[in-house]
């Protein structure tokens, strides 16, 4: 059962404009969310995170917004650059059988065109 | 950030053989390592969590006898896919963390592409 959902498999944005990637979750017990960027055949790279006690976290061109009541978060990239083209995964931190683990969405493939 | 390596990065094997994948933390001691797998265009699915010096704990639906995990030292965890079959073909990624890091900080290896013929 997918508890973290990214309903848009792909997104195309023109360079310089804003990219908005969305993520929904079903488990109200999630209290920490992370975004990862992943290139083909590579491991994910951490981008930005947000605790459930906040509704916004900003780091340079990347901003994550959290709407707890809607169980929704989004990643904004402004301005978008061609190098941002990658797959972006939303993840929620959960307790695995023996420690914290990441519960990933299916990812959104972002293409930033010149 | 901390560096995690995986070896090999790419492996092809025949059906029925076993394949070992290594995950190493290069500049920190990883008390906990996670193993994920990713099918094409799918999410990364947690397979198991391994703590140094103890048995790995597996997620529901993951066969522990098929996916053997050993975390014998603070810098090395291995995943052995035993009697591999074509359906085991996937991208396997490890991540590592440590109490000395923020609890949310997991550093990922570059992944291992396994193809079983």
Which residues are within 8 A (CB) of B84 and not within 5 positions of it... i.e. 6 or more apart?
Answer: B13, B15, B16, B17, B18, B19, B114, B116
Mutation target vs B (from A24, A34, A101, A103; most B CBs, 10 A cutoff): A101
- Between A97 and A24, where is the model more confident? A24
The per-residue pLDDT of chain A, averaged, comes to 90
Mutation target vs A (from B5, B44, B69, B101; most A CBs, 10 A cutoff): B44
pLDDT at A62: 97
Using CA atoms, how far apart are residues B71 and B60, in angstroms rounded to an integer? 20
Nearest CA in chain A to B105: A46
pLDDT digit string, tens, across residues B37-87:
988 777 888 899 888 888 898 988 999 999 999 988 989 999 999 999 999
Question: Which of A32, A99, A105 has the CB atom closest to B32's CB atom?
Answer: A99
Do B89 and B97 meet the contact criterion of CB atoms below 8 Å apart?
Answer: no
- Between A98 and A66, where is the model more confident? A66
pLDDT digit string, tens, across residues A44-83:
888 999 988 999 999 999 999 999 999 999 999 999 999 9
Please report the DSSP string for B72-86 in residue order.
Answer: EETTEEEEEE-S--G
Do A88 and A110 meet the contact criterion of CB atoms below 8 Å apart?
Answer: yes
What's the pLDDT band for A97 if we cut at 50, 70, 90? low
Helix (H, G, I), strand (E, B) or coil at A29: coil
């Amino acid at each position: 059962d997918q508890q973290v959902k990214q309903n848009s498999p792909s997104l195309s944005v023109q360079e310089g404009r804003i990219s908005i990637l969305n993520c929904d979750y079903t488990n109200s017990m999630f209290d920490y969310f992370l975004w990862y960027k992943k290139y083909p055949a590579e491991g994910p790279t951490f981008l930005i995170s947000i605790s459930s006690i906040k509704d916004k976290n900003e780091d340079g061109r990347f901003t994550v917004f959290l709407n707890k009541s809607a169980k929704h978060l989004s990643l904004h990239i402004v301005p978008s650059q061609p190098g941002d083209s990658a797959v972006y995964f939303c993840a929620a931190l959960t307790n695995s059988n023996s420690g914290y683990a990441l519960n990933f969405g299916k990812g959104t493939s972002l293409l930033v065109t010149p | 950030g901390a560096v995690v390596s995986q070896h090999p990065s790419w492996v092809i094997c025949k059906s029925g053989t076993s394949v070992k994948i290594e995950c190493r933390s290069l500049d920190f001691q990883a008390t906990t390592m996670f193993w994920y797998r990713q099918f094409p265009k799918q999410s990364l699915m947690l397979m198991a969590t391994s703590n140094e010096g103890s048995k790995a704990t597996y997620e529901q639906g993951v066969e522990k006898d098929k996916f053997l995990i050993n975390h014998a030292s603070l810098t090395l965890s291995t995943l052995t896919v035993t009697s591999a079959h074509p359906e085991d073909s996937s991208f396997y990624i490890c991540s590592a963390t440590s109490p000395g890091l923020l609890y949310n900080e997991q550093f990922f290896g570059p992944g291992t592409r396994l193809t079983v013929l």
